[in-house]
Structure 1
């Protein structure tokens, strides 16, 4: 990666090469007609004074980093790119017309891979710069004959198999790849010191000609942008006799990159290492990225619903406009609203969720006639939901109905019926995934037989309908360190435990990194219990709008103040946290269902969201873009990982 000191040196070199172009006789002559000293850093005061006072005088050019000029310009995804190379590999392979011999020719100009495929089994060998065709042929022959699955003879650069066998060969260079990790715009001061204004003007013209729109020497073109002139700053004072100073400020973007060597994959079959093989049965492959789903709280789809109205009121202060749904409207009086959801608007959300890399939505469960269920209904009727499944978050507090013959509500029975749908999310042998929210004993008082009996009712009803039992995850509203719901989950007959959200408030504002720590500590704590768990990643937590404008639907503790919140997260930090959850699922046996939950898709009032949010310039989708990019990259790496090459 390019360092600031390297850029300073390159700037000085570019100016020096212009003023003192190389001569065939090795001497250096200034094209300006007078001498100029060029260096990094600052001139020694006595030396500078002597130079400007002597006749005809010597000018100075110094190169320094401009203080306080660094600006973060990171904006590229961390995708790998191939560095071009115009030099031929130098090694080629010819296959005989008979199909039972290959001949290697030439000498390797770079590192690479060469090998043969005999009877559909590949035998690769590493190639180093300078390896001859003879050496490569012998290396491959030794590898084949040591395995003993085929007989291969070697004569100089030709490899031959029996007439009943087939052979072909390939060779290719190792590809150098790179990716950009971060990018900074940095200013550099080119300071000119001269004994006269005329000499200063001449030096200025030379510096400008040397640098304007030029690439700097000795620095990778992928790590440095073009130089751009930024400002001209006179630093003359009447106390400096015979000294005229001018600072020319130039800016450039410096990229920090990472590079690696990637061996080419040349054959459709062959053993690469103990875990990876192409076209060979019985070998392991890396696990795919686990499915990740986001919680939906759908009070944002019908302003006639009193819950929507309460949410709008909570976010009606201009301080919170940025947390409104992306399709909101703010009128001239400052009141906010949003349109009633349509099939088209939910189809658009589905497309965004798919682009975000989500595998499913987890819908909070309400009565089907309540418009809090409108988004779910439009999801179910959508013809655009391929690739995005759904599941339900049952609220045990609304499961009882004393007017029902069996004591259970239509809300619970609707959840049960939905589990038979083809787009319902399943785990562990096609078992429907069903989250159940914890509830107080008062809320469960009228539930026939208690929570355990209700969950048994759910299991039996689903099993009778589709032949498998649901995978039930018991969710609390707190981190395990604050409330251990594992025992309650076991007592209720759930298959696993987890949390809807995991904030750990301290009475003072905390950075998003503290919320990440709380969530990821919760995963570890739950894994340590030995009871199956589902991890939850947090996109944010900030209930200040509800503290400042209390709403009936959101009863909060009187002890909660507007100092109890986490600062807003950046989109890349959210993406990193979600990727940490994916890696946790891949590496831990504590979550056999291997799915991750994200709080949340649209909990705007509580401060957790991925969905587009409001701005006067149009919906803000930075979180969707960042998470989608991270999931796409991680999915690609799980399918095409970085493989060590065995020689």
Structure 2
């Protein structure tokens, strides 16, 4: 069971009532957008994808997706556990390696990792934070990230006494070569502020927050020589944005375009128009940089199946209907143009995409069981990025009994494997598609230990993906 402070990060998103705060005109589709039918120029605008990484084999959270009717949300790496439940090892190194290749194929520039300060402040359990940061830890360990960078997003508020710990976490991240940079070489750092009044309260009010932000910059600059570009992820931008800039944030954005709690279905075009209204408001009235957010989907009704989520969320949410490829393309291109044309974005022109893996809330990019790599293709086509990726292997554990499959010291090809080497048919597992522009060149089986180092042997499947035409 998670403690209340961790669930609060989800509650921030739920309590946002962006739809009710905007005029009715914003719910109409802007069909006059010049980028709707023209390829957007994305050479100077970077794309970052938000991550929420509470996906692990020992987390019960993923069971909200254990429904054949939700296969379009179920991640490609899902596996069946010995007890019959589904497992979601999304924080493992093999999944992060696959994610990097998928992100590259989609034309993304960086991941925005939700980071949990390993602090005991306010009764929090540091060991929970360590577990939630495991995906980031394994990402950093990857020997080749194909140029995919990352940025930290502090998902929890913190007291002033934890500023040294926050600066230490940033300093550690900047020591490596893979941290994202702005146009002037600064390091972008995100903070999930949500309700700014609550966030400021933890720092002793506006003056305390201003002091904390200045202290944070000073500490990191002294340790790394780098300047920071601080981004506040807010809701109710018109009211919260000026306060965020006043206390020291360089830019604002939002986590997602959330809706109200009236149990209504909105077309994706209406949801997109709500976001665009916020973009235009910030472009006209903002006091600093602004990163427009593209929300790929919003529908957290499946999450209400989890008892903990049900306690902290509005029980009757509004939701966005699924988008077409054309609607996503329009929204992505419009966001890129918005970021590129805002004169206050000279230091950092970037778009935030919600999200890489918010499967229970309704926003995801990663391949899934029934959609495959559809969303990767949409983004790549929208931004005109189609990189060539070198051959690589996808690896996952099968449900093959090692006693029935003659895998010895070396691997064997799928073609040469006998009848006992066929994995059990399970429509809720084992997708692992090759990225767009690649195809399966070879598949082999090998014997190895379990992921947790247990002695019980497993049969692992290795899929070699190579560029089309090879």
Please indicate the TM-score interval, normalised by the length of the shorter structure: 0.5 to 0.7
1:491 Cα deviation from its structure 2 partner: 2.6
Which runs of no fewer than 5 residues in structure 1 stay unpaired? 1-180, 182-257, 259-285, 636-647
CA displacement, residues 558-616 of structure 1 (integer Å, 9 cap, x when unaligned): xx415x1111223443233112211222333243321111111111111011011234x
- Provide the secondary structure at the position in 2 that maps to 1:611: coil
2:113 match: 363
1:584 match: 338
1:472 Cα deviation from its structure 2 partner: 0.8
Superposition TM-score, scaled by structure 2 size:
0.64
Aligned: 1:460 with 2:215: no
Instruction: Note if contact 2:210-2:247 (Cα within 8 Å) is conserved in structure 1.
Output: yes
- Provide the secondary structure at the position in 2 that maps to 1:362: strand
Rounded to whole Å, the distance in 2 between the matches of 1:552 and 1:487 is 31
Rounded to whole Å, the distance in 1 between the matches of 2:377 and 2:311 is 30
1:327 Cα deviation from its structure 2 partner: 1.2
Aligned: 1:329 with 2:85: no
Instruction: Note if contact 2:296-2:328 (Cα within 8 Å) is conserved in structure 1.
Output: yes
- Provide the secondary structure at the position in 2 that maps to 1:426: coil
CA displacement, residues 262-317 of structure 1 (integer Å, 9 cap, x when unaligned): xxxxxxxxxxxxxxxxxxxxxxxx882411111011111x222xxx312x132234
Superposition TM-score, scaled by structure 1 size:
0.47
Rounded to whole Å, the distance in 2 between the matches of 1:362 and 1:313 is 25
Number of equivalent positions? 333
Instruction: Note if contact 2:47-2:110 (Cα within 8 Å) is conserved in structure 1.
Output: yes
Rounded to whole Å, the distance in 2 between the matches of 1:493 and 1:633 is 35
Q: Pairwise mapping of residues 139-538 of structure 1 onto structure 2 (< 5 A)?
A: 288-300=43-55, 302-304=56-58, 308-310=59-61, 312-329=62-79, 335-339=85-89, 341-367=91-117, 370-397=130-157, 399-400=158-159, 406-408=161-163, 410=165, 413-438=168-193, 440=195, 441=197, 445-447=201-203, 450-476=208-234, 478-480=235-237, 484-505=239-260, 507=262, 508-532=264-288, 533-538=290-295
1:531 Cα deviation from its structure 2 partner: 1.4
Instruction: Note if contact 1:394-1:412 (Cα within 8 Å) is conserved in structure 2.
Output: no
Label 1:458 to 1:547 Cα distance change in 2 as closer, same or farther (>3 A): same
Which runs of no fewer than 5 residues in structure 2 stay unpaired? 1-36, 119-126, 388-470
Look at both structures and tell me which one has the larger radius of gyration over its CA atoms.
1
Rounded to whole Å, the distance in 2 between the matches of 1:515 and 1:433 is 27
1:84 match: none
Rounded to whole Å, the distance in 1 between the matches of 2:68 and 2:82 is 12
Label 1:510 to 1:332 Cα distance change in 2 as closer, same or farther (>3 A): farther
Rounded to whole Å, the distance in 2 between the matches of 1:352 and 1:634 is 12
Rounded to whole Å, the distance in 2 between the matches of 1:589 and 1:366 is 33
Q: Pairwise mapping of residues 53-132 of structure 1 onto structure 2 (< 5 A)?
A: none
Rounded to whole Å, the distance in 2 between the matches of 1:338 and 1:468 is 37
Instruction: Note if contact 1:500-1:536 (Cα within 8 Å) is conserved in structure 2.
Output: yes
Rounded to whole Å, the distance in 2 between the matches of 1:525 and 1:298 is 31
Rounded to whole Å, the distance in 2 between the matches of 1:414 and 1:468 is 14
Aligned: 1:613 with 2:368: yes
Rounded to whole Å, the distance in 2 between the matches of 1:550 and 1:579 is 38
1:626 match: 378
1:509 Cα deviation from its structure 2 partner: 0.3
Would you identify which runs of 4 or more consecutive aligned residues in structure 1 move more than 4 Å? 330-334, 439-446
CA displacement, residues 143-171 of structure 1 (integer Å, 9 cap, x when unaligned): xxxxxxxxxxxxxxxxxxxxxxxxxxxxx
Match 1:551 to one of 277, 298, 308 = 308
1:155 match: none
Label 1:632 to 1:523 Cα distance change in 2 as closer, same or farther (>3 A): same
Label 1:409 to 1:316 Cα distance change in 2 as closer, same or farther (>3 A): farther
CA displacement, residues 74-120 of structure 1 (integer Å, 9 cap, x when unaligned): xxxxxxxxxxxxxxxxxxxxxxxxxxxxxxxxxxxxxxxxxxxxxxx
Aligned: 1:574 with 2:338: no
Rounded to whole Å, the distance in 1 between the matches of 2:74 and 2:166 is 28
How large is the Cα RMSD of the aligned pairs? Answer: 3.0
Rounded to whole Å, the distance in 2 between the matches of 1:382 and 1:505 is 40
- Provide the secondary structure at the position in 1 that maps to 2:266: coil
Instruction: Note if contact 1:572-1:627 (Cα within 8 Å) is conserved in structure 2.
Output: no
Rounded to whole Å, the distance in 2 between the matches of 1:389 and 1:553 is 35
Which one has a larger percent helix, Structure 1 or Structure 2?
A: 2
CA displacement, residues 465-522 of structure 1 (integer Å, 9 cap, x when unaligned): 222320111111x353xx6211221232111112111223372101111111111111
